[in-house]
Amino acid sequence: MVVCDSKSEGRAQGRAQRKWENNGSHHRKDVVPDLECWCISRGGCMQAHFGEEKELRQRFMAPPVSGLRELRRRRRELRSRMELLIMETQAEMCRALADLDPGASFAIDSWERKEGGGGISCVLQDGEVFEKAGVNVSVVSGLLSEEAARQMRSRGKSLKAKDGKLPFCAMGVSSVIHPKNPHVPTMHFNYRYFEIEEADGTKQWWFGGGTDLTPTYLNEEDAIHFHKTLKEACDKHDLKLYPKYKKWCDDYFYIKHRGERRGIGGIFFDDMNSPSKEEVFQFVKSCAKAVVPCYIPIVKKHCHDSFTPEEKLWQQLRRGRYVEFNLLYDRGTKFGLLTPGSRIESILMSLPLTARWEYMHNPPESSKEAEILEVLRNPKDWVH
């Protein structure tokens, strides 16, 4: 189980969190060093402890969920490396967003799940640039609920339980950014790892994730930049991955009852367990490292654009579509709501502060609003 290995470790983590908060870590904008450069000291000397704590404060938004002792003990295991990656991705995105909205600050909320594990929620609300921006990390373990197991089996997974029990470990980083300006698109990303132990002791594992863009108004230059950045990350590993996961993204974010996509896509994948665990992890790492460069330049470009009340109204209507997809179709939301002990506030962090529904609203033909609807109904190839 990916949790602290003793009560004393948990108390130490609590003291570390309070010290972290007192030092105002959520206002820091340090450059985060590369993950592979971080080495957890084996020594027990006080100097090493303080040096490690200082470096961690520069790297992350809060102490790691699993605790330093557990990460030291398992530092070569993929689960520990994945936890460090999602912690680092959270910090990189939070600091990039904070740089763009210096008058606002992230509320940092470390939480525990009594069934096993916990998480770190970082949420900024009512800023000058971002109406709501959340970047969450969770590292949870326990027994898979019957509803969650049923959902996974419906995707073709053969899960053999022992006495009806399926131990699992899941971890991931998830983010949704809702800007104030309707000319700045909403962005979502999620990268996760899942592991289940079956009745005979064998473990099924897989990765999932993706990054996608939801603009209120279409800007082709922005769409090309976003998709090209993601394609470059995929192409480092296999030229077939971007077209495959781009199509999967267009298909996944389809709002069936509306006949349109949530946004202009990006990449999406799930149940990825080949060619090897290490190779898939490296692919996920490349995708996670592409999140900031694919989105932040777009925010910088448009965050001070002027807009009309009519454009703001259209943004609110499009956010209504965002809410519909997340509550009706999104796998992550469904899994979270079906998992005992889940933190509902963190699961519903993806929803915007404001949205609107109007009866029979149809934009005029040849309008900018109609232009984005055409792309949502008929996805485009943005990189060829």
The pLDDT tens digits for 115-167 are: 899 999 999 999 999 999 999 999 998 887 666 766 666 676 666 666 667 88
Strand pairing report for 117-125 and 107-112: antiparallel
**Each residue's pLDDT tens digit, 309-347:** 999 999 999 999 999 999 999 988 887 887 777 788 888
Instruction: Judge whether 98 lies within some domain.
Output: yes
Q: Record the tokens describing residue 232, joined without a space.
A: 């470059």
Q: Say if residue 41's pLDDT is above 60.
A: no
| Domain of residue 94, CATH code | 3.40.1500.10
The phi-psi region of residue 188 (left if phi > 0; otherwise alpha if psi is between -120 and 50; otherwise beta) is beta
Q: HSE, CB side, 13 Å, CA atoms: give it for residue 336.
A: 25
Give how far the C-alpha of residue 99 lies from the chain's centroid of Cα atoms, to the nearest Å.
19
pLDDT in the model for residue 157: 63
Q: For residues 202 and 196, what is the distance between their CA atoms, to the nearest angstrom?
A: 8
Closest CA to 116 of 88, 90, 138: 138
Instruction: Judge whether 12 lies within some domain.
Output: no
**Each residue's pLDDT tens digit, 80-89:** 999 999 999 9
Q: Say if residue 46's pLDDT is above 50.
A: no
Q: Say if residue 252's pLDDT is above 50.
A: yes
**Structural domain count, the chain:** 1
Q: For residues 191 and 207, what is the distance between their CA atoms, to the nearest angstrom?
A: 8
Closest CA to 265 of 368, 376, 370: 376
Give yes or no for a contact between 168 and 195, defined as CB atoms under 8 angstroms apart: yes
Is 183 part of the annotated catalytic residue set? no
Q: Which domain holds residue 306?
A: 90-377
Sign of dihedral through CA atoms 63, 69, 70, 76?
Answer: positive
Instruction: Judge whether 28 lies within some domain.
Output: no
Give yes or no for a contact between 218 and 371, defined as CB atoms under 8 angstroms apart: yes
Q: Record the tokens describing residue 97, joined without a space.
A: 């967003």
pLDDT in the model for residue 329: 94
Give yes or no for a contact between 113 and 341, defined as CB atoms under 8 angstroms apart: yes
H runs (alpha helix) in the chain: 7-22, 46-59, 68-73, 78-100, 146-153, 220-235, 241-252, 277-289, 291-302, 309-328, 331-338, 344-347, 368-377
Number of Cβ within 10 Å of residue 163's Cβ equals: 5
Q: Which of 5-19, 262-276, 280-294, 314-328 has the lowest mean pLDDT?
A: 5-19
Closest CA to 26 of 175, 128, 135: 135
pLDDT in the model for residue 146: 67
Strand pairing report for 186-197 and 254-255: unpaired
DSSP state of 296: H
Q: For residues 121 and 61, what is the distance between their CA atoms, to the nearest angstrom?
A: 9
Give yes or no for a contact between 377 and 259, defined as CB atoms under 8 angstroms apart: yes
Which of the residues 183, 188, 227, 302 is marked catalytic? Answer: 188
Instruction: Judge whether 166 lies within some domain.
Output: yes
Q: For residues 56 and 41, what is the distance between their CA atoms, to the nearest angstrom?
A: 12
Instruction: Judge whether 344 lies within some domain.
Output: yes
Instruction: Judge whether 253 lies within some domain.
Output: yes
DSSP state of 165: B
Give how far the C-alpha of residue 149 lies from the chain's centroid of Cα atoms, to the nearest Å.
22
Strand partners, 78: none
Q: Say if residue 26's pLDDT is above 70.
A: no
Give yes or no for a contact between 262 and 214, defined as CB atoms under 8 angstroms apart: yes
Q: Say if residue 68's pLDDT is above 90.
A: no
Q: Say if residue 71's pLDDT is above 90.
A: no
Q: For residues 243 and 248, what is the distance between their CA atoms, to the nearest angstrom?
A: 9
Mean pLDDT, the chain, rounded, equals 85
Strand pairing report for 203-214 and 265-272: antiparallel
Q: Record the tokens describing residue 226, joined without a space.
A: 């976003």
Q: Which residue has the tokens 């979502």?
A: 188
Number of Cβ within 10 Å of residue 234's Cβ equals: 22
Instruction: Judge whether 107 lies within some domain.
Output: yes
Instruction: Judge whether 384 lies within some domain.
Output: no
Q: Provide the residue type at 103 as one letter.
A: G
